[in-house]
Amino acid sequence: NAGVTQTPKFQVLKTGQSMTLQCAQDMNHNSMYWYRQDPGMGLRLIYYSASEGTTDKGEVPNGYNVSRLNKREFSLRLESAAPSQTSVYFCASSELGLRAGGAYTQYFGPGTRLTVL
Amino acid sequence: AQSVAQPEDQVNVAEGNPLTVKCTYSVSGNPYLFWYVQYPNRGLQFLLKYITGDNLVKGSYGFEAEFNKSQTSFHLKKPSALVSDSALYFCAVRDKGGATNKLIFGTGTLLAVQP
């Protein structure tokens, strides 16, 4: 099992450009998440999808959109990139609730390092 | 409001010595608590969790954590540190606001183990 995969690994954008970060998981998890990691701020939740067909805003959703394409895939889109969106982006997945002993444990992808000039 | 705090930005320890990385939480009711580790340029890896039961939880790579309800703490410990333990450690608590699996993360503690 590959677990959680993310593409691309690195990306440089100019202000105003758009891009989509891709995430896929092969653990048959119901829930998926997008975080950003900035120095001294830990991980902040951008959007999440509790189950296929639903998406909700997290702590810092402004400037982002998401699509839960199917149970495996959850993409994050930056419509008009800004320098403040320079960050490392992580996707994660988890089982929903206490089923299968998952007990809310989230599993993370390797991250995408995004620089906006 | 629910929150988790990691009071130390960095912890320095000599190889072979015991290590402790501190975490305190604020959440109503019984907490679900987690520790994750992040090696340089990598994603977060799950180390251990407390859901219920024994207050001492054992996890990966020889780490353990002690849940203390009266002190609202969940400190990460290891009896003998290795240089390879040097990494960024995150404590997290399940966000109980709704029927989701959202986690609230601390700001992280950088563990530096000197040879």
CB contact under 8 A, B106 and A106: no
Q: What DSSP state is assigned to residue B87?
A: E
Residues of B in Cβ contact (< 8 Å) with A34: none
* Cβ within 8 Å of B, A 46-75: 48, 50, 56, 58
Domains and CATH numbers, chain B: 3-114 (2.60.40.10)
Beta-sheet strands, E only, within B15-108: 19-21, 24-26, 33-38, 44-50, 56-58, 64-68, 73-78, 87-94, 103-105
Q: Nearest residue of B to residue A10 by CA position? A: B41
Q: Are B46 and A106 in contact (CB < 8 Å)?
A: yes
Q: Do B44 and A110 touch (CB under 8 A)?
A: no
pLDDT tens, residue by residue, A28-59: 998 999 999 998 888 999 999 988 889 999 99
| Residue whose C-alpha is closest to residue A74's, from A109, A27, A110, A22 | A22
Q: What is the pLDDT of residue B99?
A: 58
Strand partners, A89: A36, A112
Kindly state the percentage of chain A with pLDDT values over 70: 93
Q: Which two tokens stand for residue B43?
A: 């994603």
Lowest mean pLDDT among A58-62, A98-102, B76-80, B109-113: A98-102
Question: What percentage of chain A reaches a pLDDT higher than 90?
Answer: 75
